[in-house]
Chains A and B, each alone.
Chain A
Amino acid sequence: MPAPEPRVRFRDKQIEMAHGAGGKASRRLIEGLFAPLLCDLSSGPLGDAAHVLMNGAPIAITADSFVVKPLRFPGGSIGELAVNGTVNDLAVSGARAHTLVVTYILEAGLPSEILEQEVRAMAAAARRAGVAIAGGDTKVVEHGKADRMYISSCGIGSLIEGVHVAPETVRPGDRVLLSGPIGDHGITILLARGELDFEAEICSDTRPVLPMIEALAAAAARGIRWMRDPTRGGVATSLNELARDCGLGIRLSEDRIPVHDSVRGACELLGLEPLHIANEGQFLAVVAPEMADAALAALRAAPGGHQAAIIGEVTEQPARTVLSATPYGGTRVVDMLVGDPLPRIC
């Protein structure tokens, strides 16, 4: 098996929007600057949440922050997103969220009504996800310095029994599962900004994915090798990270990837690739081939998982590459997101 790619170095002159977009620039920043200076990398590649031992007991811990604009959008809002995003990072690491703490960074002049709405949205999301919010912090900055409000959160959780996810355990022949249609969240936000003069019936998919992961674990815990929630950078970026971390290839079948027609239409018009669009309520799982059918059946039977699909397979070659096969016999390389998705001009 080929050795994993060497670590990257961070040599960019300044921070740009792309460093926050979840693609290649984000990866350089994390792996070239943050991780080497802040973390012990001997325990393997960085996942969505860290698993640590505290007095001998394993716990999962993660941090997340939310700067979405606009604050409210069809299907959700920043408060709900903050809870779901944090519990989902824990869930795909194989952990059940237990407690969150949250920080609000507020801008002077923010109407209290908007803040209350978001606090209420957060409380409702926490109840739905079955997680406690144990505390937090508030900071206020001058008007115009924080685009109304940002939320940051930290979550801890306990490990789901029998689930061990790590890219090193992925083998050729493993199947790639996707929990449902992709691109809803990113396209919803893009349209909610109102900069494009068109509308579509799309809602954000923000939701906790734990119930689906628990159903998957109940049916095929031993078979689960890796999981990820494909948020910024989309499915393409998550799978490229996997391909790089495990040193193998991934071959997708384009016609098996569920995408709502409205999302496909918007992507066609704007020249975007659905595989690069952010999701907030889906996850990817790599499952051992002999358990893939059982895993898929369990996922489809779980609430919200009826559109789950096996979208591809892990391959020996080409190493560290994601390929997509078209329904008519062509193939193309699916790379990570570069920069922010930019529409074509003609």
Chain B
Amino acid sequence: MRFVDEFREPALITRTAQEIRRLADPTRHYRLMEVCGGHTHAIYRFGLKDLLPSNIELIHGPGCPVCVLPMGRIDDGLSLTEHPEVIFTAFGDMMRVPGTRGSPLEHKARGADVRIVYSPSDALKLAQTNPGRHVMFFAIGFETTAPSTALTLMRARSLGIRNFSVFCNHVTIIPAIRAILDSPDMRLDAFIGPGHVSTVIGCRPYEWIARNERKPIVVSGFEPLDMLESVMMLLRQLKEGRVEVENQYKRVVPWEGNRAALKAMAEVFQLRPYFEWRGMGFISQSALRLRDSYAEWDAEQRFQIPGVRVTDPKAAQCGEVLKGVLKPHQCKLFGNECTPERPVGALMVSSEGSCAAYYNYEHLKTAMVSSVASAL
């Protein structure tokens, strides 16, 4: 498979891992945060931790859009399924995320019209083929998915499709990184920058991280070799005392981002003054809403939304895990009350959620190592 296999080439991976070992100062502990949930998934899926020296710690960041959504927003979106004319549509990742009265899939099992779509334009098509119904798209995601929502809304307007709306939960990555850096219990050495988000926003928006916060950041791809190369580039910066934004994912990420996508976003969205993030509280100017010129397609304006706020179950420590303060298995509920089958928090649902990734690929290994250690 071209463009994939090249980045999984065992000989190159081994060589890069050796170079990382050579660069790593054995007397020092490195804390690198991978911002993006896709990176978290890749780290576990490819067993990359096994290839890194033990003094390089990878901290999972807040870049999983499903995970950062507070339960109240899910309840608000699902409240629309009470309108018999509404078809609730969302990406597959959303379907098992628990709300107070169950996930979208559980609502579907009880008879609500809930459907998985693969892109917002599929939801728009559904509206065209079901003129007697109202299709609501539950939009989530960072700048990665926001442009496709924007383009779909522009299309809905130009075609005059009125039985379609978007319940917008799009968030932006930079304020989340800022919140992490402002968090007092966080001591990070460097960032593995998000790859997909950067295809849209480019690398410039990260420059303050290097300039003001003095943390190196390397925008990274998602294949094993991409990620190891990014770690290697970060170690080089740290070793040489450089603090820069570097782009490892040049084959996909242009430094200036994607202007057409940014333009579409600017046409359709405006920043919300503040937005609640799961476990991180309210972060100002961190999310998008539809502009008033798109009010007709804004589910929050077309329907009565309860606007509920739901606190996470007390024992769940999703916030600490999202911020990277705790490792997934250090949460009290991990693996017993909270599993991918019966998730308490969204981090256990999405394949990009660090808890699900950890549970699926890693926790038994950890359990094994600790049981061996306690036997010695």
Could you list which residues of chain A lie within 8 angstroms of chain B, going by C-beta atoms? 14-17, 24-25, 195-196, 261, 264-265, 268, 271, 317-318, 321, 323, 325-333, 335, 338-339, 342-346
Chain A min CB distance to B46 (Å) = 6
Within B93-124, which residues are at the interface with A (CB < 8 Å)? Answer: 93, 95-96, 105-106, 109-110, 116, 118, 122
Q: Are B362 and A17 in contact (CB under 8 A)?
A: no
Q: Are A195 and B95 in contact (CB under 8 A)?
A: no
Could you list which residues of chain B lie within 8 angstroms of chain A, going by C-beta atoms? 1, 4, 8, 10, 13-14, 17, 38, 41, 44-51, 65-66, 91-93, 95-96, 105-106, 109-110, 116, 118, 122, 140-142, 144-145, 196, 224, 340-341, 350-352, 359-365, 367-368
Cα A264 to Cα B1 in complex, Å, equals 8
Cα A223 to Cα B213 in complex, Å, equals 63
Chain A min CB distance to B103 (Å) = 9
Q: Are A345 and B93 in contact (CB under 8 A)?
A: yes
Q: Which residue of A lies closest to B194 (CB)?
A: A346
The contact sample of 10 A-B pairs, CB cut-off 8 A, is A16-B105, A321-B368, A329-B47, A331-B365, A332-B47, A335-B340, A342-B96, A345-B92, A345-B140, A346-B352
Q: Are B341 and A16 in contact (CB under 8 A)?
A: no
Cα A346 to Cα B145 in complex, Å, equals 7
Q: Are A333 and B91 in contact (CB under 8 A)?
A: no
Cα A207 to Cα B360 in complex, Å, equals 32
Contacts A195-B118, A343-B118 known; A15 to B51 CB distance under 8 Å? no
Chain A min CB distance to B261 (Å) = 13
Q: Are A333 and B365 in contact (CB under 8 A)?
A: yes
Q: Out of B4, B50, B118, B350, which one reaches A331, CB within 8 Å?
A: B50
Cα A268 to Cα B343 in complex, Å, equals 25
Enumerate chain A residues within 8 angstroms of B140, measured Cβ to Cβ. 345
Which residue among A264, A328, A333 has the maximum number of chain B CB atoms within 10 Å of its CB?
A328
Enumerate chain A residues within 8 angstroms of B47, measured Cβ to Cβ. 325-326, 329-332
Contacts A338-B341, A346-B65 known; A328 to B224 CB distance under 8 Å? yes
Q: Which residue of B lies closest to A16 (CB)?
A: B109
Q: Are A333 and B361 in contact (CB under 8 A)?
A: yes
Q: Are A329 and B109 in contact (CB under 8 A)?
A: no
A-B contact count (CB 8 A): 113
Enumerate chain B residues within 8 angstroms of A264, measured Cβ to Cβ. 1, 4
Cα A328 to Cα B225 in complex, Å, equals 11
Q: Are B351 and A271 in contact (CB under 8 A)?
A: yes
Q: Are A328 and B14 in contact (CB under 8 A)?
A: yes
Enumerate chain B residues within 8 angstroms of A25, measured Cβ to Cβ. 341
Cα A15 to Cα B1 in complex, Å, equals 39
Contacts A14-B110, A328-B14, A330-B48 known; A335 to B360 CB distance under 8 Å? yes
Q: Are A24 and B360 in contact (CB under 8 A)?
A: no
Chain A min CB distance to B354 (Å) = 14
Q: Are A329 and B144 in contact (CB under 8 A)?
A: no
Enumerate chain A residues within 8 angstroms of B109, measured Cβ to Cβ. 14-17
Enumerate chain A residues within 8 angstroms of B122, measured Cβ to Cβ. 195
In the complex, given contacts A330-B51, A342-B93, what are 14 additional A-B residue pairs having Cβ atoms less than 8 angstroms apart?
A: A328-B17, A330-B49, A332-B46, A332-B361, A333-B360, A333-B362, A333-B364, A335-B361, A344-B351, A344-B352, A345-B92, A345-B93, A345-B141, A346-B196
Cα A345 to Cα B14 in complex, Å, equals 30
Q: Are A342 and B10 in contact (CB under 8 A)?
A: no
Chain B min CB distance to A126 (Å) = 36
Q: Are A332 and B14 in contact (CB under 8 A)?
A: no
Q: Are A24 and B341 in contact (CB under 8 A)?
A: yes
Enumerate chain B residues within 8 angstroms of A17, measured Cβ to Cβ. 105, 109
Cα A16 to Cα B108 in complex, Å, equals 9
Chain B min CB distance to A317 (Å) = 7
